[in-house]
Each structure stands twice: as structure tokens, then as C-alpha cells.
Amino acid sequence: MSGATLHELIAAFAAHGDSGDGGVCRLTGSAEDKAARDHLADEIRRRGLALTVDPIGNMFGAASLAPSSDEAVLVGSHLDSQPTGGRYDGAYGVLAGLLAVEAVAARAAREPGAAKRNLALANWTNEEGARFQPSLTGSSVQAGLLPLDAALALTDGEGVTLGEALAGIGYRGAGTRPFAPARYVELHVEQGPRLEDAGLDIGVVEGAWAARKLSLVFLGEPSHTGPTPMGRRRDALRAAARAIDLIYDGIEASGTGAHASAARIIVHPNSPNVVPDRVQVWFEIRHEDEAMAATLGDRFLAQVAAAARPLGVGVTVAVDERRGAALLDGAGAALVRAAARDLGLSTLAMKTVAGHDALALQKVMPASLIFVPSRDGLSHNPREFTDETALDKGLAVLTEVLWRMVTAEG
């Protein structure tokens, strides 16, 4: 399938983890992840790129365009998905990146000496964080933000480590990244409504919202749900339910425009006849301003403690992860804007609310993020959709941006 179009590739990769409703479920380290990785490895080799897999499972496909240089521009995204994933989130950036690398390499062969640095595709491990937390795992290891040993020791709900899962599918590699990365570029569906609402082609992402991710453990006492008097119960799930209401009510009442969620819960002992004694809930608050995200989080924690106390339930903080508001590379954003303009495409300067590998990599190298519209702003949903024309426009911009990056002086 080396001559496959972008749309044919997207359809073919959607078969790996096909959920039967138009979406995909392709969790990191699963059989479906292996199938997609094997397919990508084949596509990389068919295009004459050098395949490398590093110890955290990041996959690279390198094109040697400038033999005298040890630098490379990296381009890519991720193949893992959420349990209710769509076929575009992540996979679009990997597959468009593959075709863009192929196109740039072909142009470099036609124009000997034009390329000043090399080019490499990347598929980052566990971007989604659906099976193993935290998210952005592979790119964070690459950036030195997360130690390799700590990443490999992450466990899923069944106690399987990320290292074991990667070894089980044959993708706990021993290689190193190709070349010295000079820049990173990522193409992605927006996952929000702004581009579609504005009727514009390309999102030039200049930065990211801050996020505060909290995991709280509510500690009560088990007892029989029948005879135990209501006033004597220490119901951890009841306290957790109050906390869930508090985060939504508090964020809406704040009028700050923040986004919040409570999206994962574990109940123990999870029996219909036992009052829950231990409940863990994952919350998050996102806001454009880092200080506001922190303030809203502090306010929420105080409210939860006050609400749980009369119920005889204790609250402990298992995770308090603060992701600061980020700025992406300004020169890269200008280059994306110029390339889109020269291709006759409209642009919108914007910030991403969702996390992406580009945000981790920006810590150690200039990184650029390019968006194309998402229909109805829908993502992490089988009905996620971006039409073929929009996908092609994104690929055209990406290819031109990569060409200008590998041929630029200095």
C-alpha cells in the first residue's frame, strides 16, 4: 500500500481496533496497538525509511536528506486511542506525517543539496493515557520530563506495567531516536468547534491552556446496605457524588470560562450490598490562565473537604498534576501561517485546550501544532469526523512546512 492515499491509509488503520460503530478502541500495549504498529512499520519500510523503536516504544521512520548533518525535523503524533476513540485523533497526524516525509524526501532527491537537515516520522507511545497514566508518556520520556524507568513501571487497572505490555507486543525497543531533533511539527484534528464555526481552513496553534488534574480518594467504612442505619454510615460514594456536583457547580458559578470534568471512578468493594468504603475519582480543571486553574483547584479541594466531613468520610489527594499554560514556537507558527497563505488557505490563531505531544516536546525543542476542523467539534467519540478536503489541506500545509524547515539556512 505504498501508493495509498491519505484517506485509504486512515480507513485501513481504522480496522485495527474497529469498534463496529465507526470508531476505534486501540489502547496502548493491546493487540490492536500491535496491529497498528506492525502496519506502520511496514509502511515505513516500504517508503525506504529507517525504522527505529526506542525503549519506551516510540517508533521513528527516518529519511536521510542531508548526509553531512546530524539534525532532523521530527513530525508525528500517536496511534493509541481512547476506549471510545475516533479514527482521526492521533492517527491522522502519523499517517499525514508519513506521506509528508515521503513527499519531502522525493522533492529533496529532485533538488540535490537543497535539504540542510534530515526528516523523521514519530509515533509516540501512550499519548492518550487511557490505559496507563499519565498521558503524553512517550514524548515526555523523549523530552526528559519523565524518567524511562518510571514510565515503564506505570500500571494499568489490572496491575500490568507499561514495560510488560510493550514487551508483550514486541515494542519495547532498544534503539535511539534518529539524528538530533531540531524541531517538531504535529498535525491534528482540532477536537473543538472553533475552526468549523469560523469557516476557516487551518488552525495555527500558538499555545495551550493550563490544566490541573486531581485524583481524590474518599475513605469511609464498609457496612451492610440494608440494616445499617443511615446516620451510622460512612459512605465514600456519597461523598464522591457530592464532590462531582461541586466541581461542575463551582466551575459554572465561577463565570471564568474554565472547563472541568469528573471522568473516571473506581469503587470498592463495588458490591450492591456493601456501603462503599473507598472511592477514587479523577477530576480536571482547564483554563487559559495557569493561576486561575490553580485557584479553582484550591477552592474545589476546600469545598470537597467541607462536604465530606459531616458524612464521616476522609479525603486524600492521590494525584495533583499541574500542567502550565504553554507557548509554542513563535517562528514555527509564523511559518505555518505563511505556508497556508501561500497555498491559498485561511488561518485562525488559537490555543489548544487538549494536551498533545507537541506540548511535552516544546520543553526541549521548538514545536509547532497545526489544526484542521472537526465536525461539530466532536472527538473521543466514534462519530469524530473531518472531511477529506480538510484533511488534504492539512497535509498540504504540513508538507510545505516540513520542506521549508529542512531547507532553511541556520
Of 323, 347, 362, which residue constitutes the final position of a domain?
A: 323
User: At residue 285, what is the residue type?
Assistant: I
pLDDT digits (tens, 9 = 90+) for 73-125: 999 999 999 999 999 999 999 999 999 999 999 999 999 999 999 999 999 99
Q: Give every CB contact of residue 262 below 8 A, 6+ residues apart in sequence.
A: 243, 244, 247, 248, 281, 282, 283
**pLDDT at position 147 over 90:** yes
Q: Is residue 282 part of a domain?
A: yes
CA atoms of 382 and 358, how far apart (whole Å)? 24
Average pLDDT over every residue of 153-171: 97
Q: Is residue 302 part of a domain?
A: yes
pLDDT digits (tens, 9 = 90+) for 385-405: 999 999 999 999 999 999 999
Q: 262 - beta bridge partners?
A: 283
**pLDDT at position 2 over 90:** no
Grid cell 458490591 is found at 271
Of 295, 323, 351, which residue constitutes the final position of a domain?
A: 323
Residues 178 and 138 in one domain: yes
Q: 278 - beta bridge partners?
A: 219, 268
Q: Is residue 331 part of a domain?
A: yes
Angle at 279 between CA 256 and CA 302, to 5 degrees: 40
CA atoms of 407 and 48, how far apart (whole Å)? 21
Alpha helices, DSSP H, located in 15-66? 31-46
CA atoms of 110 and 95, how far apart (whole Å)? 23
Residues 189 and 302 in one domain: no
Of 284, 305, 323, which residue constitutes the final position of a domain?
A: 323
How far is residue 35 from each of residues 13, 70, 166, 185, measured CA to CA in Å? 9, 32, 13, 25
pLDDT digits (tens, 9 = 90+) for 27-56: 999 999 999 999 999 999 999 999 999 999
Nearest CA-CA partner of 307 in 252, 241, 253? 241
At 1 the pLDDT is 41
Nearest CA-CA partner of 97 in 395, 366, 367? 395
Residues 35 and 123 in one domain: yes
Q: Is residue 1 part of a domain?
A: no
Residues 181 and 218 in one domain: no
Residues 195 and 315 in one domain: no
**pLDDT at position 313 over 60:** yes
Give me the chain's average pLDDT, please.
97
Q: Is residue 192 part of a domain?
A: yes
Q: Which domain holds residue 360?
A: 6-209+325-407
At 130 the pLDDT is 96
CA atoms of 232 and 47, how far apart (whole Å)? 68
Grid cell 472547563 is found at 259
Q: Is the dihedral of CA 39, 40, 43, 44 positive or negative?
A: negative
Grid cell 471522568 is found at 263
- The beta strand positions in 82-166, using DSSP E, are 118-123
pLDDT digits (tens, 9 = 90+) for 337-385: 999 999 999 999 999 999 999 999 999 999 999 999 999 999 999 999 9
Q: 187 - beta bridge partners?
A: 370
Q: 259 - beta bridge partners?
A: 286
Residues 26 and 131 in one domain: yes
At 3 the pLDDT is 61
Q: Give me the number of domains the chain comprises.
A: 2
pLDDT digits (tens, 9 = 90+) for 268-304: 999 999 999 999 999 999 999 999 999 999 999 999 9
3-state DSSP call for residue 203?
Answer: strand
At 271 the pLDDT is 98
pLDDT digits (tens, 9 = 90+) for 116-138: 999 999 999 999 999 999 999 99
CA atoms of 28 and 132, how far apart (whole Å)? 8
Nearest CA-CA partner of 84 in 280, 264, 284, 323? 264
Count CA atoms closer than 13 A to 387's CA, side-chain side: 6
CA atoms of 32 and 40, how far apart (whole Å)? 12
How far is residue 283 from each of residues 260, 319, 325, measured CA to CA in Å? 7, 10, 18
DSSP annotation of 18 reads B
CA atoms of 29 and 200, how far apart (whole Å)? 37
Average pLDDT over every residue of 258-267: 97
Nearest CA-CA partner of 37 in 140, 101, 127, 124? 124
Q: Is residue 16 part of a domain?
A: yes
Pairing relationship of beta strands 71-77 and 180-189 according to DSSP bridges:
parallel
Residues 246 and 110 in one domain: no
Residues 170 and 240 in one domain: no
Residues 52 and 175 in one domain: yes
- 177 pLDDT band, cuts 50/70/90, is confident
